[in-house]
Structure 1
Amino acid sequence: MTLSYLRQSTPHRGCTLSWFVEGDGPPVVMIHGVGIGAAGWRPQVEGLASHFRCLCLDNRGFGASQPLGGALTVELMADDVLALMDAQGWSSAHVMGHSLGGLVALALAHRAKERVRSLALLCTFASGAVPTRLTPRMLALGLRTQLGTRRMRRHAFLRMVLAPDELAHADRDALAEQLADLFGHDLADQPPVAMKQFGAMRRADSTPYLREFAGLPTLVVSATHDPIAPPSAGQALAAGIPGARYVEFPNASHGVTLRFAEEVNALLKEHLDSAEASRQAAAPARAGER
């Protein structure tokens, strides 16, 4: 399938949201986290677009989704996603979220569970207090991404999102250039909206309403070496959602969707196919109730 990644725009609540949609099949919305936009989902779109219709957006204030349009909250970002679903005429969709995007997906499901066919929560957490805590490791990693030469900052960023084994024999300069294309910016630079995104994430907590997602097909994915969303956070998230499936990638870190795309895509397709099959099986029962 030939993919164009043709950008479209939709004005919503003070921001012109930038997004693209690719593929054919049941609808899927993909939401990224801090400092990365729609392009970061290209590895997943390339693997799933032959089976699903994938919508990816730049979160407000990032990339081409400008201006910010007011105080940033996870709830506002969830409302943005619902507005784009409305623009597509989608009454419901499968929803995927990575990192901060996972909190947005949970907020969307809390507000409008009937519009969510399934959840895929990748390298994320129930509470934004987890990734914003100042542990010694995160403090050291964060400082290294802000100090030194541009090359040093790029290499420090790689250590934050990739596992040690991935970096051991890698050409780090080439890797930083490759990831910059997906992140939508030089890894030496922090996008202006990043601190506002961190603030929105820090204030968000889905823990009180996780149990309401019982019956909603949910996949939770963690990576063993992730310092931002450690496996303990993914395990707690999965434990809080009745029936959720938990999968951990042992040789990966926060960038698992980018670096292990083939394996992640196979897992996502299995999850989406299963959710669609369950939905189709339930359709006659729902019709009978009417």
Structure 2
Amino acid sequence: MTSGGDHFSEHAGARLRWRKEGGGPALVLLHGWALDLSSWNLLAPLLATRFTVLSFDRRGFGLSEGTPDIHRNVDDLRAVMDIAGVREATLVGMSQGARLALHFAMAHPARVRALVLDGAPEIEAESELPLALYRQRLESAGAPALRAMILTHPLMQLHSAAPAARATLVESLSHYRGLDLIHSVARATAPDLQQISVPTLVLNGALDSPERREAGKRIAAAIPGAARVELPNAGHLALLDDPVAYDEKLTGYVQQRAQT
């Protein structure tokens, strides 16, 4: 059993923050846009009772250095898994993290036992995020004002009254500097979902935006053999809205796959 704590490792010119806790089959948790690994703080302790849970701040997010880059993120994830001693794992990607999970599965299929894609965006678009407006806000008023603006976006609205949910969201956003808005980040080639060969669960909160729920349906239909579930009392931030139900669905899926 490993107790959680922050670690920092140098890779490809950047210092990356990662955390490992628990024991058992490995899960790798991949955070969403603007957030960091602390977004998993309510869910990770539940998962760590049955699994080894590895999370990290993607390059340029949270306390990790460097310029955000999906191409480097794939190699960063490989490096963090190597450093943490995780040979293969189920990847759990939340929102933009789901996109990273898909790209990693395409690049390193032997290291992926299964995928869990939570609140994934359309594969080739981020149309729900007003990135140009956010860039203007960052340039005119600075990062704190940008973070306050992001918290008003519909995807960032909580459906839980628990104080811990709000506190965790604010903490997870607190280090966002908008580096992906400042730097020109090349788009990655969209993965061919028909080529995903690992077991895949597509997860949405039933209160997530219609666009994300439709994206989830399309992604599940495109990946061979994929399953899809909705959490009834959760929105886009299902990991904060209902971590207990999330834990039950995720654990049930992983354990079911282990028996087949």
TM range (shorter): 0.7 to 0.9
For 2:184 and 2:27, locate their aligned partners in 1 and report how far apart those are by CA, in whole Å.
25
1:37 and 2:36 are equivalent in the alignment: yes
1:185 and 2:174 are equivalent in the alignment: yes
1:133 and 2:127 are equivalent in the alignment: yes
CA contact (8 A) 2:16 2:59 kept: yes
1:222 and 2:204 are equivalent in the alignment: yes
Q: Post-superposition, which runs of at least 4 consecutive aligned residues in structure 1 deviate over 3 A? A: 146-150, 152-156, 174-178, 196-200, 204-207
- In the alignment, what sits opposite 1:195? 181
- In the alignment, what sits opposite 2:190? 206
Q: Percent identity among equivalent residues? A: 28
CA contact (8 A) 1:224 1:230 kept: no
Q: Which of 89, 92, 95 does residue 93 from structure 1 map onto?
A: 89
Displacement of 1:223 after TM fit?
A: 2.3
CA contact (8 A) 1:154 1:176 kept: no
Structure 1 vs Structure 2 CA RMSD: 3.3
- In the alignment, what sits opposite 1:283? none
CA contact (8 A) 1:103 1:204 kept: no
Return the structure number with greater helix share. Answer: 1
Q: What are the equivalent positions in structure 2 for 1:247-266 lying under 5 Å apart?
A: 247-266=229-248
Q: What are the equivalent positions in structure 2 for 1:61-76 lying under 5 Å apart?
A: 61-66=60-65, 68=66, 70=67, 72-76=68-72
Structure 2's unaligned 5+ residue stretches are: none
Structure 2 CA distance for partners of 1:73 and 1:153, relative to 1, 3 Å: closer
**Bigger mean CA offset, 81-90 vs 225-234:** 225-234
Structure 1 length-normalised TM: 0.76
- In the alignment, what sits opposite 1:285? none
1:8 and 2:4 are equivalent in the alignment: no
Q: Which of 129, 144, 152 does residue 157 from structure 1 map onto?
A: 152
1:82 and 2:78 are equivalent in the alignment: yes
Aligned residue for 2:250, secondary structure, equals helix
Larger-gyration structure (1/2)? 1
Displacement of 1:185 after TM fit?
A: 0.8
Structure 2 CA distance for partners of 1:83 and 1:197, relative to 1, 3 Å: farther
**Bigger mean CA offset, 154-163 vs 56-65:** 154-163
CA contact (8 A) 1:162 1:252 kept: no
Q: Which of 223, 227, 236 does residue 218 from structure 2 map onto?
A: 236
CA contact (8 A) 1:96 1:105 kept: yes
Displacement of 1:50 after TM fit?
A: 1.2
Structure 2 length-normalised TM: 0.83
Displacement of 1:89 after TM fit?
A: 2.9
Structure 2 CA distance for partners of 1:62 and 1:89, relative to 1, 3 Å: same
CA contact (8 A) 1:32 1:97 kept: yes
Q: Deviations over 1:102-135 (max 9, x none)?
A: 0100000000111100101100035141xx226x
Structure 2 CA distance for partners of 1:275 and 1:126, relative to 1, 3 Å: farther
For 2:229 and 2:18, locate their aligned partners in 1 and report how far apart those are by CA, in whole Å.
29
